Amino acid sequence: EDKVVQSPLSLVVHEGDTVTLNCSYEVTNFRSLLWYKQEKKAPTFLFMLTSSGIEKKSGRLSSILDKKELFSILNITATQTGDSAVYLCAVPNTNAGKSTFGDGTTLTVKP
Amino acid sequence: GAVVSQHPSWVICKSGTSVKIECRSLDFQATTMFWYRQFPKQSLMLMATSNEGSKATYEQGVEKDKFLINHASLTLSTLTVTSAHPEDSSFYICSARDVAGETQYFGPGTRLLVL
């Protein structure tokens, strides 16, 4: 059975801090790993990673994948209160036709 | 970027009525759409996977006669909660997978409250 594990489950930081969120996975037929941000609504797409070692970057957010060690990290630098959200990691299983989601990391950024 | 819409965003109904939720991919074709429900402070729970033109595949424990899914076109899927009861109150979210088959884009969700 496919498995996606995120850590930590929750994190509280102050504005300006840098955070690293982790996602490890065990899936068959791996092709990609996805990161989402969920505030009070539905998740919004952040990154799709397919290749090891290639960093994807969007503003203060960046992510990288390690296919050998089966994990990905999501970094957020100079955090702001608007970064407070649940960050979800998901791995599509192309055979099963659906994605396996981690339980998410709840990030709280205090002013 | 890819946009998925859901309608309605909020619905309040009486117990015993049926509620239909629409999910549309606005600027891309989605051969596969997914329906999730989420309770407060809990993870997304996949209910069913729907492929255009075929029957939906339901996850274990999800009653297919209660949650009717129709995926009539490459841009529209509907979820009908039949004979809704208060325990069906939840946040229902659809997502659509693009043709390349990798990225899922989520709709904004529908909050259902059954009185």
Kindly report the backbone phi and psi dihedral angles of residue B66, in degrees, each rounded to the nearest multiple of 5, phi listed first. Answer: -90, -35
Looking at residue A12, its pLDDT comes to: 98
How many A-B residue pairs are in contact by the CB < 8 A criterion? 51
Contact across the interface for B93 and A42, Cβ inside 8 Å: yes
Closest residue in chain B to residue A87, using alpha carbons only: B43
A103/chain B closest Cα distance in angstroms? 6
Residues A56 and A64: their CA atoms lie apart, in Å, by 6
3-state secondary structure chain A: CCEEEEECCEEEEECCCCEEEEEEEECCCCCCEEEEEECCCCCEEEEEECCCCCCEEECCEEEEEECCCCEEEEEECCCCHHHCEEEEEEEEECCCCEEEECCCEEEEEEC
Does A72 score more than 70 pLDDT?
A: yes
Q: Report residue B1's pLDDT band, with 50, 70 and 90 as the boundaries.
A: low
Mean pLDDT of A8-23: 97
pLDDT tens for B23-53 read 999 988 888 899 999 988 888 889 999 888 8
Model confidence at A110, pLDDT cuts 50, 70, 90, reads very high
Is A103 in contact with B49 (Cβ distance < 8 A)? no
What pLDDT is recorded for position A106? Answer: 96
Contacts of B2 in chain A (CB under 8 A): 45
Q: What average pLDDT does this structure show over A77-99?
A: 88
User: How far is residue B81's CA from residue B83's CA, in Å, rounded to a whole number?
Assistant: 7
Cβ separation of B106 and A97 shorter than 8 Å?
no
What are the pLDDT digits (tens) for B49-99?
988 888 899 998 999 999 999 988 889 999 999 999 999 999 999 999 877
CB atoms within 10 A of CB B78: 19
Residues of chain B in contact with residue A102, where contact means CB-CB under 8 angstroms, are 43
- What is the length of chain A? 111
A34 chain-B contacts, CB cut-off 8 A: 102-104
A94 band by pLDDT with thresholds 50, 70 and 90: low
Look at residues A79, A99, A104 and name the one whose alpha carbon lies nearest to residue A23: A104
- Share of residues in chain A with pLDDT > 90 (%): 77
- Residue A95: is its pLDDT beyond 70? no
Give residue A10's pLDDT band: very low, low, confident or very high (50, 70, 90): very high
What's the pLDDT at A96?
64
